[in-house]
């Protein structure tokens, strides 16, 4: 019982961290126009892509962990 609750909490934490990375990704996107003016849009797009992929992996992993913990009921 406690192990299932621990898995749910871990999954929720992973999903929250993924959401925080998506917010950080939006912050990077906010500064993208200034990067285009400076000619550094490639760097910003790379950072945005990396943050997005990492966020999706964390959200998906957290969702999967919560789903597995719920299936063991």
Give the tens place of pLDDT for each residue, 1-14.
678 888 899 999 99
Compute the average pLDDT of residues 40-52: 92
**What pTM value is reported for the model?**
0.84
Residue among 20, 18, 23, 2 nearest 69 (CA): 2
pLDDT for residue 1: 62
The predicted-structure confidence for 16-42, as pLDDT tens digits, reads as follows 999 999 999 999 999 889 888 888 888
Q: How many domains does the chain divide into?
A: 1
Evaluate if residue 73 carries a pLDDT over 70: no
How many CA atoms are closer than 13 Å to the CA of 54, on its beta-carbon side? 14
Angle at 18 between CA 17 and CA 24, to 5 degrees: 90
Domain that holds residue 60: 2-71
Residue among 46, 53, 54 nearest 29 (CA): 46
If one counts every other C-beta atom within 10 angstroms of the C-beta of residue 17, the result is: 14
Percent of the chain scoring above 90 in pLDDT: 60
């Amino acid at each position: 019982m406690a192990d299932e609750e621990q898995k749910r909490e871990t999954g929720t934490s992973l999903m929250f961290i993924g959401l925080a990375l998506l917010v950080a990704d939006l912050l990077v996107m906010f500064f993208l126009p200034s990067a285009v003016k400076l000619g550094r849009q490639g760097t910003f797009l790379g950072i945005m892509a990396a943050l997005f992929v990492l966020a999706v992996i964390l959200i998906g992993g957290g969702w999967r962990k919560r789903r597995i913990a719920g299936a063991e009921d």
